[in-house]
Chain A
Amino acid sequence: MLSTLSKIARISQTRFLRLSHSAAAAKDAKPKKAPAAAVDSPSFVMNLFRGKAVTDQVFPYPLNMTEEQKETLGMVMSPLEKMLIEVNDVVKNDETSDIPREVLDKFAELGTFGVLVPPELEGSGFNNSQMARVAEIVGAYDLGFGVVMGAHQSIGYKGILLEGTDAQKQKYLPDLATGRKFAAFALTEPTTGSDASSVRTRAELSADGKHYVLNGGKIWISNGGFAEVFTVFAQTPIKQADGSTKDKMSAFIVERSFGGVTSGPQEKKMGIKGSNTTEVHFDNVKIPVENLLGKEGEGFKVAMNILNNGRFGIPAACTGAMKHCIQKTVDHITTRVQFGKKLEEFGNVQEKLVEMISKLYATESIVYMLSSNMDRGIKEYQLEAAIGKVLASESAWHVCDDAIQVHGGMGFMRETGLERVLRDLRIFRIFEGANDVLRIFIALTGAQHAGKHLAAQTSGVGGLIGLAVARVTGGNTGSNFGQVVDASLQDSAKALDQQIGLFGQTVQGLLIKHKKGIIDRQYEMHRVANAAIEIYSSAAVLSRATYAIKNKSSSADFERKVATYYVEKAMRSSNRYLKDAGNASDNETKVSTIASLAKEVCGNGGLTLQHPVEL
């Protein structure tokens, strides 16, 4: 048992190294070492996989902006909104598939392209929570513009900000923060999508050791057409201890002016059309060695650090988009009359609206939990960030879809301005980590963590007997919800606690049953991830509502009701996902049915169905 379980940990780590990205994980994955010791994690979601409620990063709600930070943010919010209305034309951007450079220059003046860069380097010196609020506003008005902004600063030059040397920062950040130059993040290639470490672009050191010579092609690069600074990921040959060389990914800062950098035409896309998306090609580009970003061979780590760090921008933008859709919905249902009543008087319309509000509330609660945790220096938030991205992009999609539905035929019309938002939102479930891959990443990273602990536990004195007892009794989550959740929300907290316990048991059951094979149990892992999303978002919601009640927020009572509504529903879903995932005998049949149906159609090269009219 011990050996198999620890192997699960190792195998899933090496196999999912492409997805997992903390420095610790990379270190643990060193080959042929004794099983890595089970390390305690401060992350709520990590512990969830062990059936434990570790709430330090969740309670009390960590948002803690100083008065000065709030004031500065407040000062820039209204000019930003005004500019998004008066200077930027979202409809035109969508129609022409372009955002004019003059418009970008105006926003550059406002300081929106250097939000997180310190003032010494000509940036605005905001923290992540302030940045999230900015991204939220942009998301409410123009998601395409949001992508230009995000591609530039959340990923394009984020690597320089996070991993750059002082010289690199001094050289590049002032121009980038002020929008004098734009940046892009170049990772994706024709054969490299979700599997990020499989890039083929190569950089080899020149004979004199002064340059790397870069060759290869990248696709779907946001800002690719006009960016002048690229963060590029390429394979570099690395000498191994045994004298052989092995290709490993490295990150580079590449300037268009180095020569040999070309970009293709603007891609024709479904949405976010205003954002520029092109191929970028590198033909014998000479990169000075000092433009290596991070250490040679550690490009994967750099990429994951950037993506992980910038990930909260997506839920923030989605939060803004949801607010926009909700406002449109309210405007419509309070004026539109059908069957002699305003739409707002119909129960089904009310339910749709409340569903939108609760989804928004959950997403927003996660956004500012995540950003403030990052602001207070918490390093382990990869699973929480992944959950935020998945939940936000899907919530926003459903909110916008429902907003269109409530608008009826009017919702389908361009003029209403919702169809564009729906088209724009579609990509958010795909890019920056496809939601399907992120789900498996969440489930397997968590399961691996639980697996290590399980292995350590079974080798201890109590051994298997103790484990069996714990399983039967359901174990204790060790939660402190009684103290940290407001008294009026204790029923919700109890339901949450119960699901955390069930989650731990379910994961443990799956680990014991499938052992290392768990990495191929996507049917169960998908459901486990869904339950994790419901549970973490509920915890965030309860924390936020408790915070509002404690601070006597003007909407405290409203928030209490929304929180109760959300958690009740989320816990019902979680229970169903976990029951599904843990139903071993049923799942065998279901999984094999799915596999055989899919195999038959794929083997046939298309549908095998006979048409009912037999023609």
Chain B
Amino acid sequence: MKILVGVKRVVDYAVKIRIMPDRSGVFTEGVQHSMNPFDEIALEEAVKLKEKKLATEVVAFSLGGPKSAEVLRTALAKGADKAIHVQVSDAEAGKLESFHVAKTLQKIVEQEKFDAVFLGKQAIDDDSSQTAPILAGLLDWPQALYASKVEDGGSGHMKVTREIDGGLDTVKVKVPFVLSADLRLNEPRYATLPNIMKAKKKPLKNIPITELGIDISPQTQTIEVTEPPVRQAGGFVEDVSALVAKLKEKGFVKA
């Protein structure tokens, strides 16, 4: 099984997000970026399957500006065998939508013949959660979304467990398939310095988006990006009856 893993370069989860004064987006210049944490989980699962001999090759993929090569090299250091960087300009990268990513992935899958595509369930910057299902649709492959466990399902199938409200949902998908990784699927390994050094020798292919002939013109328009409302300071009440009275007054409990 040859697995393609999508990894996106996003603003690091620990960074305090700042909105641009013109409200067109958030500051990304000079801000620490890293691999989308859910993509790290997807990658880890693919690498684990390779270590268990269930997969033969793991290829990391990223669609983004020139700096996306950084997350691909991280992916190589964490165990991917090869990397494919489909490059757009930084300006274009900011306007990419799930649909464009899915279209590009579809093209790569068709060109290089993959048996599975592993993606994070969502990227922590735009939280769209769309790429995996759109891709499954485009490829007409089965999908296993929000995976929390991945096992061999026998006779060309994979058994995937998904966490749903109130329990677990187990699905058996026929290979080839699309998978999206949830938080508890695994704990990704660290990129170690020796592996980072070794990764420098692994192949990283750069393909300009124009070569794939994919139309990335935006389908949506961002009107405004604003800070979440600041939480108002609370107040103290004397006792429980005062609290109940207040709640009634505000209409939070029935009068």
Contacts and interface: CB of A to CB of B under 8 A. Distances in A.
B30 A75 contact: no
Given A83-B190, A110-B190, A78 B12 contact: yes
A400 to B, nearest CB: 24
Contacts, number: 48
Contact of A75 (B12, B29, B70, B194): B70
A109 B191 CA distance: 9
Interface in B25-47: 29-30, 32, 34
Interface string A74-87: 11101100110000
A124 interface: yes
B175 interface: no
Contacts of B192: 76, 79, 109-111
B190 A79 contact: yes
A124 B193 contact: yes
A252 B30 CA distance: 47
Nearest to B197: A119
A178 to B, nearest CB: 8
B179 interface: no
A535 B192 CA distance: 40
Interface in A104-161: 109-112, 114-115, 119, 122, 124-126
Contact of B191 (A79, A112, A114, A554): A79
A76 B191 contact: yes
Contacts of B191: 75-76, 79
B193 A78 contact: no
A71 B73 contact: yes
B157 to A, nearest CB: 35
Contacts of A554: 29-30
A379 B67 CA distance: 36
Contacts of A79: 190-192
B193 A71 contact: no
Contacts of A126: 193
A3 interface: no
Contacts of B30: 554
Given A78-B12, A78-B34, A554-B30, A110 B193 contact: yes
Interface in B181-234: 190-194, 196-197
A192 B191 CA distance: 43
Contacts of B12: 78
A75 B196 contact: yes
B74 interface: yes
Interface string A551-562: 000100000000
A120 to B, nearest CB: 10
A476 interface: no
B70 A71 contact: yes
19 contacts: A71-B73, A72-B196, A72-B197, A74-B32, A74-B70, A75-B77, A78-B12, A79-B192, A82-B190, A109-B190, A110-B190, A110-B192, A111-B196, A112-B193, A115-B193, A119-B194, A124-B196, A125-B197, A554-B29
Closest 3 CB pairs of A and B: A111-B193, A79-B190, A124-B193
